[in-house]
């Protein structure tokens, strides 16, 4: 069976590290947005023009240990349907801070704003600028500048079989927000019948598990 060789570390290692952030004006979004709110219609290519929606309550705060916590209260580790219909278990507008790591390449770190500073959901201060994201469609996945997918569980294999879908859905809100498994990819072709796309490295991903960065 033919195979596509990929970096072993691309599938295993998660990015970490805290750093400073550039301040941005506060913008908001809704954690309970429906699939239509996130452009799940097959032909909806105009999601970027949609205004942000309010961030969930309670707002972000600093806990007793001095750690910044994002809006919406405690993060649940309970198993959950993290499909596109549930915003991939992200909160609000699904803010994603794009980053680059020499081992993993493009990354996406879910982020929230607190007092004009951006943080990861596990409390790290970020220096990269976040963007709103929305669930991808067969149309928007090819038009977007930034596309993010949640990579599957770690594997001990150094190769991936051609055509095998390598992304998955988060299993909980905690995993979606803090697991550091969102990666940025570059779609090359789409298979509408299969609901998948192939990136420029020859890897196959589910469209319904992908998110696009929205142009502000």
pLDDT digits (tens, 9 = 90+) for 9-28: 343 333 333 333 333 333 33
The pTM assigned to this predicted structure is 0.74
Given a cut of 90, whether residue 106 has pLDDT beyond it is no
Strand partners, 110: 96
Domain borders along the chain are 3-213
pLDDT at residue number 51 = 76
For residue 135, the cross-strand partners are 211
Tokens of 39: 């452009």
**Counting Cβ atoms within 10 Å, is residue 102 exposed (0-12), middle (13-18) or buried (19+)?**
exposed
Give the model confidence (pLDDT) of 126-172 as tens digits.
888 889 999 999 999 999 888 999 998 766 666 667 778 989 999 99
- Contact at 8 Å (CB) between 33 and 53? yes
- Residue 100 pLDDT > 70: no
Tokens of 108: 């996406």
176-215: pLDDT as tens digits = 999 999 999 999 999 999 999 999 999 999 999 999 998 6
Reduce the DSSP state of residue 172 to 3 states and report it.
strand
């Amino acid at each position: 069976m033919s195979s596509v060789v990929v970096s072993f570390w691309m599938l295993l290692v998660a990015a970490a590290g805290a750093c400073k952030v550039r301040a941005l004006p506060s913008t908001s979004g809704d954690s309970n947005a429906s699939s239509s709110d996130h452009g799940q219609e097959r032909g909806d290519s105009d999601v970027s023009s949609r205004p942000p929606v309010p961030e969930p309550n309670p707002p972000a705060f600093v806990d007793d240990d001095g750690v910044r916590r994002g809006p919406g209260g405690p993060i649940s580790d309970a198993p959950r349907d993290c499909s596109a219909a549930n915003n991939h278990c992200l909160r609000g507008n699904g803010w994603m801070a794009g980053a680059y790591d020499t081992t993993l390449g493009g990354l996406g770190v879910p982020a929230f704003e607190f007092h004009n500073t951006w943080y990861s959901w596990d409390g790290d201060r970020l220096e990269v600028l976040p963007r709103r994201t929305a669930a991808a469609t067969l149309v928007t996945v090819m038009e977007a500048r930034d596309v993010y997918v949640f990579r599957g569980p770690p594997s001990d294999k150094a190769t991936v079989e051609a055509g095998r879908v390598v992304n998955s859905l988060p299993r909980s809100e905690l995993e979606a927000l803090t697991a550091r498994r969102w990666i940025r990819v570059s779609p090359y072709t789409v298979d509408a019948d299969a609901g998948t796309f192939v990136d420029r490295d020859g890897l196959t991903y589910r469209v319904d598990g992908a998110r696009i960065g929205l142009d502000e």
